[in-house]
Amino acid sequence: MKRLFIIFLFTLLLATTIGIWSYSYFESHEEATIETSRIREYSTIPSESGMFERAGFAMEYANMPLDQEHQRKLKDYYDNRAFYGAPPTVPHPIEEGGIGSKACLKCHQNGGFVDKYQAYTPVTPHPDKSNCVQCHVRVKSNSFFVPSSWVSNTAPSTGNQALKGSPPIVPHSLQLRENCLSCHAGPSAVKEIRTTHPERINCRQCHVINEKKTVDIGTFKREIK
């Protein structure tokens, strides 16, 4: 009886040893997995990453022939806004039932020529703001506003370069304007501000923000003391 008990004890010990060893053996051969929930999300600075959003289109824009007949002008761009910086009004009919972003993004996400409006679709700088008609509306009346003392703001001037041939400064703020290529490149880009070099995708490497006007100081002479 005593011997039987000892044999039983040894078998049990052997079985557990084999069990534990094989468990750790197979465990060590498993593919390593990363528990994604444990990785902290590091986000990039939004205004910088937005700049590269349409980078995939840069070469296409650079090689595209220019359609002289259907160019948008800066005047039309401003005329379509109540004041500088205001969301542009929708110059075409809004299709029935089509108020969701999908209805608008089928044209405004990547642009393209629309026969019935005889124009290139301006590319939206913010495809993520899905409720488009919250901000973009049709003009229904021109007599709604009564005259008041409110003075409208004006657009900053362009062509502000330190020297002839230097990169002009960015005259506007970058809030909601991170995505440079959506406004400055492609066939829908406004003629006066369409860039000759969409392929240099890191725009802010050369174009700095400065909303001040640089003044001509005449011939520069260093004072020697």
Residues 62-81 within binding reach of ligand HEC (CB under 6 A): 77, 80
User: String of b and e for 79-102 (b: at least 16 CB within 10 Å)?
Assistant: ebeeeeeeebeeeeeeeeeeeebe
> What is the size of the binding site for ligand HEC (CB under 6 A)?
71
Instruction: Choose between 9 and 74: whose C-beta lies nearer to ligand HEC.
Output: 74
* Interface with ligand HEC (CB under 6 A), residue from 57, 186, 187, 195: 195
Instruction: Choose between 11 and 210: whose C-beta lies nearer to ligand HEC.
Output: 210
Give the shortest CB-64-to-ligand HEC separation in angstroms.
Answer: 14
* Cβ pair 116, 107 in contact under 8 A: no
Instruction: Choose between 159 and 218: whose C-beta lies nearer to ligand HEC.
Output: 159
Give the shortest CB-150-to-ligand HEC separation in angstroms.
Answer: 18
Q: Specify the 3-state DSSP secondary structure of 209.
A: strand
Q: Does 191 bind ligand HEC (CB under 6 A)?
A: no
* Interface with ligand HEC (CB under 6 A), residue from 205, 210, 213, 214: 205
Q: How wide is the angle at C-alpha 218 spanned by C-alphas 212 and 220, nearest 5°?
A: 100
Interatomic CA distance for residues 185 and 198, integer angstroms:
6
User: String of b and e for 19-31 (b: at least 16 CB within 10 Å)?
Assistant: eeeeeeeeeeeee
Binding mask 22-61 for ligand HEC (x = CB under 6 A): -----------------------------x----------
Binding mask 107-146 for ligand HEC (x = CB under 6 A): xx-----x--x-x-xx-xxxx-xxxxxxxx----------
Interatomic CA distance for residues 71 and 189, integer angstroms:
8
Interatomic CA distance for residues 51 and 206, integer angstroms:
13
Residue 210, phi then psi, degrees to nearest 5 = -160, 115
* Interface with ligand HEC (CB under 6 A), residue from 54, 57, 180, 187: 180
Instruction: Choose between 110 and 136: whose C-beta lies nearer to ligand HEC.
Output: 136
